[in-house]
Amino acid sequence: MRRSIATVSLSGTLRQKLEAVAAAGFDGVELFEPDFTHFPGSAADLGRMAADLGLTIDLFQPFRDFEAMPPEAFTRSLDRAERKFDLMQAMGVPLMLCCSNTSPLCVDAPALAAEQLHALADRAARRGLRVGFEALAWGRHTSLYGQAWDIVRRADHPALGLILDSFHTLSLRDDPAGIADIPGDKIFFLQMADAPLMSLDVLQWARHHRSFPGQGDFDVVGFYEQVLLAGYSGPLSLEIFNDVFRETPNRRTAVDAMRSLLYLESQVRERLTARAAAPEPDARAASALALRGLAEPPAAPAFAGFAFIEFAADEATAPQLDVQLRQLGFRRVGRHRSKAATLYRQGDIAMIVNAEPASFARSRFELHGPSVCALGLRAAQPQAAQDRAVALCSQRHRSPLGPGEVEVPAIVSPGGNLMHFVDAALGPDGLFAADFVLDEGQAPDAGLQRVDHVALGLNLDQYDTWTLFTRAVLGLSLAESQELADPFGLVRSRAAADASRSLRLVLNASLSRRTLTARAVNRRGDGGVHHIAFACEDIFDAVARLRARGVAFLPISPNYYDDLPTRFDIEPALLARMREAGVLFDRSADGDFLHIYTRAADEGLFFEVVQRIGAYDGYGAANSAARMAAQAQA
Amino acid sequence: MRRSIATVSLSGTLRQKLEAVAAAGFDGVELFEPDFTHFPGSAADLGRMAADLGLTIDLFQPFRDFEAMPPEAFTRSLDRAERKFDLMQAMGVPLMLCCSNTSPLCVDAPALAAEQLHALADRAARRGLRVGFEALAWGRHTSLYGQAWDIVRRADHPALGLILDSFHTLSLRDDPAGIADIPGDKIFFLQMADAPLMSLDVLQWARHHRSFPGQGDFDVVGFYEQVLLAGYSGPLSLEIFNDVFRETPNRRTAVDAMRSLLYLESQVRERLTARAAAPEPDARAASALALRGLAEPPAAPAFAGFAFIEFAADEATAPQLDVQLRQLGFRRVGRHRSKAATLYRQGDIAMIVNAEPASFARSRFELHGPSVCALGLRAAQPQAAQDRAVALCSQRHRSPLGPGEVEVPAIVSPGGNLMHFVDAALGPDGLFAADFVLDEGQAPDAGLQRVDHVALGLNLDQYDTWTLFTRAVLGLSLAESQELADPFGLVRSRAAADASRSLRLVLNASLSRRTLTARAVNRRGDGGVHHIAFACEDIFDAVARLRARGVAFLPISPNYYDDLPTRFDIEPALLARMREAGVLFDRSADGDFLHIYTRAADEGLFFEVVQRIGAYDGYGAANSAARMAAQAQA
């Protein structure tokens, strides 16, 4: 299984790109011509640099608008091609990509296109090179892979084959099913790209908004499956034009890219395995499986909620968190056996305040001040969950253990905080009984029962990284992205949840540098926890108890409550209670949602209390503008 | 002339928005409903707050999907309308905006739409209120103003009129000419919006990318002209949904908004004046001119190049600039009579290094370090140029004068640097002969003859501000925006030039925080000079002289020169000279362009030497990726 990536997918100088790509474990690159044109060395220098890094240069795309042209333009193009073949030989690149023509001079004549491509392939073959022809979605007369294949078939030259790119097929909603019928050895190269669904001109969409497979909305798995059924055995490559990737640090982009391919492979492997094991087994699926080293990470974890949320603190800030948590109805129930860490409990919720010097938590504290540094997730098979994460390019984390303490598999999540996978079989107290000295004393709580969701604040260039991380590594499913209006700019937001809805994460990234979300990310770091929502059974009771304990909630405008009955049919008594308590309301076809936010001190963390009624599955996004306006006024 | 703006056009809380709008001299606002819903006070409180600021609330748009609905939905909407009328009365808002329906429940029945809008207007009239109906470009059955007018006409109710929005008409490329035939008193309100031309779904375009008139590509002047010809005499208002404005500091947005309206008015006044003075005078134009107080700033200046470029320095950095300028072939020709400022000359170019303590230059130096703090522009009528700028919301600047010094009218440009308007009649030396003690000594120069262009580095939220400033205040014409690929992200760029091409400014704004442009803006401030290009007659001679003086140029990859002849038909001898000298090449239909960049020390200012051949009118944008890649490698 050879994995490749186009140099245009990453930021930086060409040397930096190749270094990042090699470090992420790729075998090769597609060379984007401007990267070479600006490279301060010769073609041979570049070939050596790539080889020294253990990379091949698999593909070069040096020009456009070749086929189906008037004779004079064609002759000029053949001359240009010879110069580019010189470069390819010096660099050691075996394959040239030729895209379908977009020029107004191009004629609608597949026979001429085939004849001219035949001539090009003939020139290439004399030098031991090959040419691949690809249908661009906005090609003038050839925009579908079926048309491109027809031309390649007519040309009938051993050095001419087809190049496939999932973007061009899926953006036009063309059916990839016909690919399986193309002879695999006539498919010379495969480029995979995903994209969000957008109402945008296809050229703009392609040039600015592609994403790695698993980050967008396309059925990239189905596309790849057809290519493997065809018998294709060449490299699997990524050619991603994305404005955000252009500025994302290239090491992170390269890791995302590799995670994306491994995840894609694992999904298609499942599909092929099912085909091969069907009552009427598909022989093409079996031979594709035999041929290729498709990645096979352990299955995605089955989650059973949050085991704990850990705060980084020091001696000075731990007492402040203590006050805040106890005000929220948590009781201090234990001290860690070997670390300066304190456990707080309420209902099913566990919060740990870790002020241990020279610990991982302290290193996060020193970067970001008091903040969440780790999430504990209850998983049915914690070791497999960690192994999957590591197989999909996450970094394993091992904490030093005291005597008798439980080893909890952990990984570093994007942005640098930890995720621990806690054995769900341990039950709500098991982990803590082993690691903490527990004081079973009781105190009245506030009725908060479990963590409903944890919202993360991300830099914009981490949004796609987290989309892929939650989907691929954690196996969560993602809701659609929405854009929420803060008084100082837009915030992009989407939720990720497991099938049982025991584990919900909300990803928030500000498009502006001036929103509260952006300022929180500046303060608590990329992937830091933005707020924590607790679920309860009776929000009015919980709010009353919390207010009595001195918790201050975000004040909501009376106009909000005047407007609510013009949007929803709500019982006047319930409306009056919400108005009095300051509780927000949302409704979907499946149920109702009542929620309220605490006031945040100086851009710090805040909390939310929620009550889900019926099968409401959202997060009150319709109220986020009210929340952010109130926060700006507070 | 009443001027208004929708609260959705600005960032901030509602109070901050109204304060900014009042400070910029607006008479009223359109209230965006969420701004009210999140306002922490009652409708009456809001009405009082606006009145205290000297603002009226001219329009409220509280709901959608009203007309042409089934009876049950219609009855519910009428009930909702009564609640919104309550609010309008409490706030003192006379007019409700009702947009054409987008609901799938809406039926294609203009008669029903008219009947239901008649009923709504009747309810409004009972309270002394009015209703305006507007065609949304994506309305289900009503998307054109002609259709909306047909419905209003059929409804035939004195409290029902038409609302026009230039975006909805111009985005659909509908002809605004029919507007002039609508009775002016039936047009209840006018919203003006411009937009860049985009291949985007009209709804997305409208919600994210509108701009103020003069910032986009629409013929907003022609639209407004038709509305005035109709006899409309109500407010001129701006309803701008723009993602960047959502985060731009609201005081700046409000000033841009006012500048935009005044500029729009001045343009339409010229058109109407021409119509009224035509051989067959247009009576409607004459009566529109009589009726309205359309803004009438002095005419746009006629420029004759750059008079000088002034650097802010202090005692320590002035000698460094001295070395750099003399290396570039400038000679030190004078000291200012009263200030610690030194004049450098070469050809027609004048550079001033100002190290005067407690001066404007020093205040800029303290903010940004050594940097350009002022541009001198030669204008035919400097006082009129300043008066126009002030009439269009720029701030007048007055420098303290020493005895016998020339008063030069100046303004503060966006971002805080100065622009001086220098009397073109003074000739190249006139200004300096008065203000400077000149030493007429000669020294060999490098053949640089005049400033070709000055490139500015902008924050993204200053890009539209500068687009409007250069177009409206300076009267320059703007080239299309392009996106240039830096190795660490995209840079948006457009050129502004006067008709004689003696004055050229290039506006650069980075979309990424990591490009060289973004880092330069961080360092030298918003609107700071990014680089300065000097024109010469023989670039190879100039480069040889500059190299001999020790100037270091940006190294260009040999691959660039290998690639050039595959793109252009170039004489081999010229190609060889360019390769040897490190000169870049571009060609348009009108001529050729040869240029080269100096190396910048640690993200500092750099210089460009250019030679224009024939009528080439660009800036070598095709080479910007090569330049930025070389800068990243250097």
pLDDT 10s digits, B490-525: 999 999 999 999 999 999 999 998 999 998 888 888
- What tens digit of pLDDT does each residue of A135-169 get? 999 999 999 999 999 999 999 999 999 999 999 99
| Residue A489 forms contact with B (CB below 8 Å) | yes
For residues B525 and B605, is the Cβ–Cβ distance under 8 A? no
Q: What does each C-alpha distance from B368 to B365, B371, B526 come to in angstroms?
A: 5, 7, 10
What's the confidence (pLDDT) of residue B600? 84
Residue A603 scores a pLDDT above 90: no
Q: Is B78 on the interface with A (CB under 8 A)?
A: no
Pick the range with the lowest mean pLDDT from A418-422, A543-547, B269-273, B517-521: B517-521
Cα torsion A391, A393, A399, A405 to 10°: value is: -30
CA distance B375 to A414: 47
For residue A630, give the amino acid letter: A
The average pLDDT across B605-609 equals 95
Percent of chain B with pLDDT over 90: 87
For residues B255-294, one letter each, b for 16 or more C-beta atoms within 10 angstroms of the residue's C-beta and e for the rest, the string is bbbbbbbbbbbbbbbebbeebbeeeeebebbebbbeebeb
What is the sign, positive or negative, of the torsion defined by CA atoms of B534, B535, B536, B538? Answer: positive
What's the pLDDT at A291?
A: 78
Q: Does B557 contact A633 at a Cβ distance shorter than 8 Å?
A: no
pLDDT in tens, A528-537: 899 999 999 9
- Residue B585 near chain A (CB below 8 Å): no
Q: Which two tokens stand for residue A286?
A: 């079996």
Contact B38 A558 (CB under 8 A): no
Say which CATH architecture domain A303-438 belongs to: Roll (3.10)
In 3D space, the residue among A162, A48, A52, A66 whose CA is nearest the CA of residue A105 turns out to be: A66
Indicate whether B538 pLDDT > 90.
yes
Task: Answer yes or no: is pLDDT of B281 > 80.
Answer: yes
Helix (H, G, I), strand (E, B) or coil at B620: coil
The confidence score (pLDDT) of residue A583 equals 98
How far apart are alpha carbons B7 and A319 in whole angstroms? Answer: 44
- Residue B39, chain A, CB below 8 Å: the answer is yes
**Closest residue on chain B to A62 (Cα):** B563
Distance of CA B493 to the CA centre of its chain: 13
Helix %, strand %, coil % of chain A (to 5): 40, 25, 35
pLDDT band at A199 (very low <50, low <70, confident <90, very high): confident
Question: What does the DSSP assignment read for A130-175?
Answer: EEEEE--TT-SS--SHHHHHHHHHHH--TTEEEEEEHHHHHHTT--
pLDDT of residue B522: 85
* Amino acid letter for position B33: E
pLDDT at B601 over 80: no
Contact yes or no for A494/A478 (Cβ under 8 A) = yes
Please write the tens of the pLDDT for every residue from B65-120.
999 999 999 999 999 999 999 999 999 999 999 999 999 999 999 999 999 999 99
Q: Which candidate in B9, B515, B559, B599 is best for mutational testing of the A interface (most A CBs within 10 A)?
A: B559
Contact B268, B225 (CB under 8 A): yes
To the nearest whole percent, how much of chain B has pLDDT over 70?
A: 99
Q: What CATH number has the domain spanning B448-633?
A: 3.10.180.10
CA-based Rg of chain B, rounded to a whole angstrom? 28
Q: What is the pLDDT of residues B379-402, one digit of tens each?
A: 999 999 999 999 999 999 998 777
* Average pLDDT of the segment spanning B575-596: 98
Residue A368 annotated in ligand binding: no
CA torsion through residues B139, B144, B146, B152, sign: positive
Please tell me the distance from the alpha carbon of residue A295 to that of residue A473, in angstroms, as a whole number: 13
What is the average pLDDT value for chain A, to the nearest integer? 94
Quickly list H helices, A214-293. 220-229, 250-276, 283-291
Residue B446 confidence (pLDDT):
95
Question: Which among A37, A201, A485 is the nearest to B557, CB-wise?
Answer: A37
Q: Per residue in A57-116, pLDDT tens?
A: 999 998 789 999 999 999 999 999 999 999 999 999 999 999 999 999 999 999 999 999
pLDDT class for A438, splitting at 50, 70, 90?
confident
Question: Is there a contact between B13 and B244 (Cβ–Cβ < 8 Å)?
Answer: no
In this structure, are residues B325 and B534 in contact, taking their beta carbons and an 8 Å threshold? no
Would you say residue A272 has pLDDT above 90?
yes
pLDDT confidence tier of residue A471, bands split at 50, 70 and 90: very high
Distance CA B634, CA B630 (A): 6
Of chain B, the end-to-end C-alpha distance in Å amounts to: 56
Q: How far apart are CA A283 and CA A275, in angstroms?
A: 9
Kindly state the tokens that stand for B114.
């008219």
How many angstroms separate the CA atoms of B291 and A91, rounded? 74
With a cut of 70, say whether residue B602 has pLDDT above it: no
A608 annotated among ligand-binding-site residues: yes
Residues in B touching A485 (Cβ below 8 Å): 34, 246
Contact A336, A435 (CB under 8 A): yes
CA distances from B110 to A176, B153, B264 (A): 45, 10, 34
Mean pLDDT, rounded, for B205-233: 96
CA distance A626 to chain B (A): 6
The predicted pLDDT at position B64 comes to 86
Q: Does domain B3-291 have CATH number 3.40.640.10?
A: no
The answer to whether B511 contacts A43, with C-beta atoms less than 8 Å apart, is no
Q: Which of B458, B450, B453, B502 is nearest to B621 (CA)?
A: B453
Checking if the pLDDT of A1 tops 80, the result is yes
- Is residue B571 a known part of a binding site? no
Test B489 with A560 for CB contact under 8 angstroms.
Answer: no
B11 touching A (Cβ < 8 Å):
yes
Mean pLDDT for chain B overall: 94
Query: In this predicted model, what pLDDT tens digit does every residue of B151-176 receive, in sequence order?
Result: 999 999 999 999 999 999 999 999 99
More confident position, A128 or A337: A128
Supply B406's token pair.
Answer: 């020339």
Of B12, B39, B487, the CB nearest to A12: B487
Residue showing tokens 């050129």 = B495
Which amino acid does the sequence have at B50?
A
Are the C-beta atoms of A29 and A10 separated by less than 8 Å? Answer: no
- Which residues of chain B have a CB within 8 Å of the CB of A562? 83, 87
The CATH number of A3-270 is 3.20.20.150
pLDDT, tens digit, 9 for 90 and up, residues A295-313? 999 999 999 999 999 999 9
Contact call for B83 and A626, based on CB within 8 A: no
What is the ipTM metric for this complex? 0.89
| Strand pairing class (B584-588; B591-597) | antiparallel
* CB nearest to A39's CB, from B246, B490, B557: B557
Q: Are the C-beta atoms of B147 and B205 separated by less than 8 Å?
A: no
For residue B157, say whether it is annotated as part of any ligand binding site: no
B199 and A204 within 8 Å at the Cβ level: the answer is yes
User: Cβ separation of B490 and A84 shorter than 8 Å?
Assistant: no
List the helix and strand counts (H, then E) for chain B. 21, 26
Whether the pLDDT of residue B292 is over 80: the answer is no
Tell which of A488, A510, A511 to mutate to test the B interface (max B CBs under 10 Å). Answer: A488
CA distance linking residue A349 with residue A330, whole number of Å: 9
Give the pLDDT score at B634: 72
Q: Which residues, in sequence order, are CB contacts of A332 under 8 Å at separation 6+?
A: A322, A325, A326, A342, A343, A344, A439
Mean pLDDT of A395-402: 86
Place of tokens 């190299």: B547
Contact by Cβ (8 Å): A193, A238: yes
Residue with tokens 């392609």: A206
Tell me how crowded residue B79 is: count the other CB atoms within 10 A of its CB.
11
Intrachain domains B3-291 and B448-633 with the same fold: no
- Are residues B209 and B198 in contact, defined by beta-carbon separation less than 8 angstroms? yes
The pLDDT assigned to A602 comes to 67
All residues of chain B having their beta carbon less than 8 Å from the beta carbon of residue A36 are: 559
Residues of A in contact with B630 (CB under 8 A): 38, 40
Long-range contact set of residues B193-198: C-beta below 8 Å, sequence gap at least 24: B193/B165, B193/B166, B193/B167, B193/B218, B193/B220, B193/B238, B193/B239, B193/B240, B194/B166, B194/B167, B194/B218, B194/B220, B195/B167, B195/B170, B195/B171, B196/B481
Q: What is the mean pLDDT of residues A239-243?
A: 95
Judged by a CB distance cut-off of 8 A, whether residue B47 touches chain A is no
Residue of B nearest to A199 (CA): B201
Angle between helices A220-229 and A283-291 (to 10 degrees): 90
What DSSP character marks residue B600?
Answer: P
Chain B stretch 194-253, residues whose beta carbon is closer than 8 A to a beta carbon of chain A: 199-201, 203-204, 243, 246-247
Residue B338: pLDDT band by 50, 70, 90 thresholds? confident
pLDDT for A134-143, tens place per residue?
Answer: 999 999 999 9
The answer to whether residue A24 scores a pLDDT higher than 80 is yes
List the domain boundaries for chain A: 3-270, 303-438, 448-633
CB-CB under 8 Å, A12 with B488: yes
Give the three-state DSSP class for A89: helix
pLDDT at A178: 97
* Distance between CA atoms of residues A236 and A242, nearest Å: 19
Say whether A531 counts as a known binding-site residue. yes
